[in-house]
Amino acid sequence: MSWQLRVGAVQMCSGDDLDANLMAVAGAVKAATADGAKLVVLPENFSFLGTREQDKLAVAEDIAHGARGRILQTLRELAEQHATWIVGGGTPEIVPGDSRRTFNTAVVVGPTGELVARYRKVHLFDVDIPGGAVLRESDATAPGVEPVVVEIEGAKVGLSICYDLRFPELYRRLVKDRGAEVLLVPSAFTAHTGAAHWHLLLRARAVENQAWVVAAAQGGRHNEKRESYGHTLMVDPWGTVVAERAEGLGVIVHTLDGEAVATRRRQMPCLEHAVLWT
């Protein structure tokens, strides 16, 4: 585990203006790579966040078949221009044969502009929060079924999106079954749930899996119905927050390393002791 990876995590406040969102992405990628980032992580809904779940159908792209839709093509061009990896943390993907729903898909684009991997969000956010929002992601989203780990600059990186954070069994599979050392959690956590659980859950996932956690977040008020918590952060394998942006648009950059993972797993071999119940 001798790798090092300088990562930029982007905080946005996306809305229903695709042009404005993609312009913000371009600026963030430029800022992160200027600070040496070799991987830039964008939050969930980086491309579009509308008032209704169904609004995203208008911008969904056929990612599965490599179609060069505007969103994916923008990420390809930015990755190639800046010679960096980009993880688009959640964008609408067409579901073949289903005109009512999209996948919520994280795309991994390599530094030569190729689509390397994609992860479709498994856990959908259908909640009625006391004193908070009522949201039903499944109204216009189909769930994914497969965990995904991709190697980036020598690091094994596990993918997840937002509400996945509440399901530790997913991360255990990413780490135990597929060898992940870095866990990405691009999100649009609501202001209400974020204030209660965001830091707690992210640090817990880092501690129990002895892995780096990178959480690029939406932050601020998107529209009259939706406000996100923000607090883009990175957590080391001991559970220490090493970088954080509480509010506002911008980027945090930090260098992750494999030795920190190896050291913690050697000192306290929890993963070797773990029993996976069936």
| 278 inside domain | no
Looking at residue 15, its pLDDT comes to 96
Question: Is 78 part of a structural domain of the chain?
Answer: yes
pLDDT of residue 68: 74
Domain-embedded: residue 137: yes
Number of domains in the chain: 1
**Domain of 62, in residue numbers:** 4-273
Half-sphere exposure of 18 (CA within 13 A, CB side): 14
What's the half-sphere exposure (Cβ side, CA atoms, 13 Å) at 77? 11
Which positions ≥6 away from 145 have C-beta within 8 Å?
120, 122
Q: What is the pLDDT of residue 132?
A: 64
Among 38, 44, 87, residue whose Cα is nearest residue 189: 44
- Per the document, the length of the chain is 278
Could you tell me if residue 214 is inside a domain? yes
Is there a contact between 27 and 71 (Cβ–Cβ < 8 Å)?
no
Q: Is 235 domain-assigned? A: yes
Q: Is residue 144 part of a domain?
A: yes
Query: What pLDDT was estimated at residue 133?
Result: 66
Q: What is the predicted pLDDT for the residue at 53?
A: 87
Q: What is the CATH number of the domain that holds 99?
A: 3.60.110.10
The reported pLDDT for the residue numbered 152 is: 98
Residue 142 lies in a domain: yes
Residue 34: what pLDDT?
Answer: 98
In 110-259, where do the E strands start and end? Answer: 115-120, 126-128, 134-136, 141-142, 149-152, 155-159, 182-184, 212-215, 219-223, 226-229, 232-235, 241-245, 250-257
- What is the mean pLDDT for each group of 10 consecutive residues in the chain (278 residues)? 93 97 98 98 97 92 84 97 98 95 98 97 87 79 97 98 98 97 97 96 98 98 94 98 97 98 96 84
**Which residues carry out catalysis?**
44, 121, 162
| Structural domain includes residue 21 | yes
pTM of the predicted protein model: 0.96
